Copies of this chain bind each other. A is one copy, B any other.
Amino acid sequence: MILFQCDYNEGAHPRVLEKLVETNLDQTVGYGEDEHCAHAAELIRKACGDDSLAVHFLVGGTQANMTVIAAALRPHQGVIAAQTGHINGHETGAVESTGHKVLALPQKNGKIDASQVAELCEAHLHDASFEHTVQPKMVYISNPTEYGTLYTGKELEELSAVCRRYGLYLFLDGARLGYGLAAADNELNLPLIARCCDVFYIGGTKVGALFGEAVVMSNEELKKDFRYLIKQKGGMLAKGRLLGVQFETLFEDDLYLEISRHADRLADKLREAFVEAGFPMLVESRTNQIFPILPDTILEKLGHDYGYTWQERVDETHSAVRFCTSWATREENVDRLIADLKRLALSV
């Protein structure tokens, strides 16, 4: 059985693990106040081209999302997100558990745009009973999105502008950021993201680390007292240096992007094979998640040897599913899958 259902089926990139082994018995102080965290933060600031950024390391994505959002909002404020945004549907109401409504907007390929945000804000401002509705105060986007798609530079800059116009924070969930930055059609880069967003995070869990996300903040209001929030929400690792060591390794040279490119290349290869075999994509994307539409009969057969995730029913006999590659995916496994796919396609 070869697993393609997600990008966290394996442990860490060998170089990350080596560094953990190498530093294992060193003594450091706890809670992220060690030199590895300081160094990793420095490397990330440099990659973002901004010395004034605050960088914090949290254990996981749900935690990063809920901690950032809870830190940013007052009780009557909510966060705008795509209907398909991770915080809206796949975190067991973590945001609501901190008291805040997710203001869900219709999405297109997993994305929302500046005009939707403007429309919602205008409607709020002109509602005679505006104090009876949740005040929009933050926009949450994910890049790559839950559909593997990417925001263009223009889209991100427009979202940033609309947020500034209406006094909203812009928050980018980069759980798979590496796979976005390394994609063939990517237009973004870290300095641009840091300039456009008030806060974003660089995902480690899905991109080479055992676990960990690096939260990056440019907005001074958000920086204030953030470590209290990390502690309160359960995200302050006693051995914080584990996170520092991992991100140090990923950002010391081009490792983070290099391993992301590997995954994207294999996803491209797999995507082309699906299309060649006659199976269209639910959504066009060039990152590490692909969403082919297949006959249920073929899916059933593929399922004996390969793990994938069911996404949605397309018609009575076809479903869209998700295949993921990652930094850890072996090309030989992709090739084997492609071969089996071709065989099955011929047999239809």
Contacts and interface: CB of A to CB of B under 8 A. Distances in A.
Report the contact-size class of chain A (Cβ under 8 Å from the partner): 35 or more
Interface in A118-148: 128-129, 131-135
Contacts of A93: 76, 78, 99-101, 134, 232
A89 interface: yes
A183 B99 CA distance: 38
Interface in A33-78: 59-63, 66-67, 70-71, 74-76, 78
Interface string A1-25: 1110110111110100100110111
A337 interface: no
A76 B11 contact: no
A237 B60 contact: yes
A13 to B, nearest CB: 9
Interface stretch (A222-230, A254-262, A278-286): A222-230
A220 to B, nearest CB: 14
Contacts of A205: 238-239
Nearest to A227: B131
A97 interface: yes
A312 B317 CA distance: 41
A265 interface: no
B97 A99 contact: yes
A210 interface: yes
Contacts of A295: none
26 contacts: A9-B29, A9-B30, A11-B24, A11-B242, A31-B129, A31-B131, A59-B59, A62-B231, A67-B234, A71-B75, A74-B225, A76-B92, A76-B225, A90-B129, A91-B231, A92-B232, A93-B100, A93-B101, A93-B134, A93-B232, A94-B231, A98-B99, A99-B99, A128-B309, A206-B238, A211-B238
| 6 nearest A-B pairs in the assembled complex, by CB-CB distance | A63-B234, A76-B228, A11-B24, A92-B232, A93-B101, A93-B134
